Structure 1
């Protein structure tokens, strides 16, 4: 529903598209941050039912996940309508790769730093939860742009291997089906699930 609307706004007026997209991105980030602060949510997926609000009010909601979706749409529009290369010089690519990898490393590191959830509303947790999805999506969009314009290096070579073709053809179908399998597996358990390497290997790769 949103994608045709955004494309229509793009054809109508690019300035309107930028304004609407910025407002939606801000509202999505703000909603995630406020929910995290008010409900004392963790910044990672919890492994116990102590934080059931994480799934009920945050994890499964489209308005908290809209940032990456929106960035993907905007990146797609930009890459399919650009007249020439956006990266004119190698130094631009170098700066882009440095920023991209730095952002990814910082986001992963902060997830461990902010692992403990304080009993009171926490500004760092709320800020992280509000922007980390969108920042990660921006980093991924940069990787796609760099590869498309010839600055991907070995990353482009790796992602261009033919072995990914059959996997990419079934990836969306797996994405749609695997939550059902996980729910069925968890629902059939008659005892608590305890961590073992083999058990979580199965959960990660089979379901």
Structure 2
């Protein structure tokens, strides 16, 4: 049998490393601590392992031994996992298997039913609700819907490419972050990236999450105003339909996290990372389904990356109210939207000033290894009232696209080029200037940090909207053709699913690392 475990090795080597390590730099890995994962015979107990390692470290020769530097090991009981360790399904695990089996059965039967109707050429004769329901789970029908394109307003087709690009950047950023949360061999390379232009794509990549707030605000405002032009719809019904559209697949992924996820691998960090995540999902799943997980029990949030969904849902409710007012009293509604935009910028400024918080959330190892407990994650990063400015900027853009729909007007080339240049400058500068606050010798200034915390997301949103606007109504046709490229359409419809499931693969890879 083989047992996999993680071991933390400590020493009194600090005083000999001071010359090579800058204690003012929080991006640096502590060089007197080594985290390792090994495979050993299962007959060894954690106590045996620790004694053996201490004995080996005492006898082995290394350069600093002559200076009375010693190493000690510490083996956590819950970090040990046997390869043949018994895991028994409980009633919750069995329930998930039953639900998954039911869904697979429905998909199979629905697909077979549609194939039978196509074969008998009976697909146009019966459009009853029962028939539509019977084919709702058809694999063929749903795959065909992936390529459906929004044709009523061609400028909106740019959103397909933007959604795909942003989710790709977010997944890449998360992969880089989860990799740093585990064993790191090349410390110097990682530390250099915190201050590099390339590293800003990873360590200030949270701006791509703001891009989704922008897109959501734009689409919600545009669609609601178009809908209210036709007929008024009960706001409670709109919220209910939104909940029904988002929640089933979200609930299914949470259900998986709380059950079978724990059985999908084995490794030195498995119990520390995966088992704890499973436990959090079992206890706090209800906060996710009520879309309050970014305010209630945030330190035990199920699926840490899911903080985005409650924010978006809260903004959606506010957007409905604002769109109703705009559709009835345009001037008053736009004033309210302006006020909400102003408040969304003011709130992070005030919070950063009062609590003396940094301008950005630093994605240092101490955050990446325990993000749910980080004070900036709980205070500013995941809260709806501190992340709202991109959404309201997106709402303003949605109103502009609503007013421009069906219009043949285009910007003059000079104006188009000017807006494009300014937009690119805003996007690049907002992304790159984040590296300033990763400089270990940066002297903290509360006002400067508060201004950056308040405005950098807003400027990113303005730059993004400017880019979309000139692509749709200006002369940036190359950008329009790229963002509206047909292959982006089916991929963009899979973005929500990719957002929900991508972290489980990354966490699993980290938890298994070093398992041999």
Question: Residue 80 of structure 1 corresponds to which residue in structure 2?
Answer: 402
Say if 1:45 and 1:163 are closer, same or farther in 2 by CA, change over 3 A. Answer: farther
Is 1:61 the counterpart of 2:378? The answer is no
Secondary structure at 2:493 match in 1:
helix
1:141-192 Cα distance to aligned partner (Å, 9 max, x none): 122221222522221121122221221010122223445x279549x8499x
Equivalent residue pairs, number: 189
CA RMSD of aligned residues (A): 2.7
Q: Deviations over 1:11-60 (max 9, x none)?
A: 12222222212221222212212223324224144223369111001111
1:182, 1:20 → 2: CA distance? Answer: 43
Q: 2:433 aligns with which of 110, 113, 123?
A: 110
> Which sections of structure 2, spanning at least 5 residues, go unmatched?
1-316
Q: CA shift at 1:67, angstroms?
A: 1.0
Q: CA deviation at 1:77?
A: 2.2
Match of 2:350 in 1: 34
User: Among residues 438, 459, 463, which one is paired with 1:135 in the alignment?
Assistant: 459
State the TM-score, normalized to the length of structure 2: 0.34
Structure 1, gaps ≥5 residues long:
192-207
2:500 corresponds in structure 1 to 176
Query: Within 5 Å, which residues of 2 pair with 1:126-165?
Result: 126-165=450-489
Distance in structure 1 (CA, Å) of the matches to 2:375 and 2:466: 33
Q: Which moved more, 1:167-176 or 1:74-83?
A: 74-83
Distance of 2:472 and 2:445 partners within structure 1 = 42
Deviation at 1:103, TM superposition (A): 0.8
Query: Retained in 1: the 8 A contact 2:394–2:461?
Result: yes
Q: 1:10 to 1:85 in 2, by over 3 A?
A: farther
Task: Give the Cα separation in 1 of the matches to 2:505 and 2:366.
Answer: 16
Which one has the bigger helix percentage? Answer: 1
- Aligned equivalents of 1:30 and 1:182: distance in 2? 38
Which has the higher mean CA deviation after the structures are superposed, 68-77 or 33-42?
A: 33-42
Structure 2 CA distance for aligned equivalents of residues 149 and 65 of structure 1: 28
CA contact (8 A) 1:40 1:121 kept: no
After superposition, the Cα gap between the structure-2 partners of 1:182 and 1:72, relative to the gap in structure 1 and judged at 3 Å, is farther
Residue by residue over 1:70-114, the C-alpha shift from the partner in whole angstroms, topping out at 9 and shown as x without a partner, is 121221122122363564411110110111011112212311122
Name the structure where strand makes up a greater proportion of residues.
2
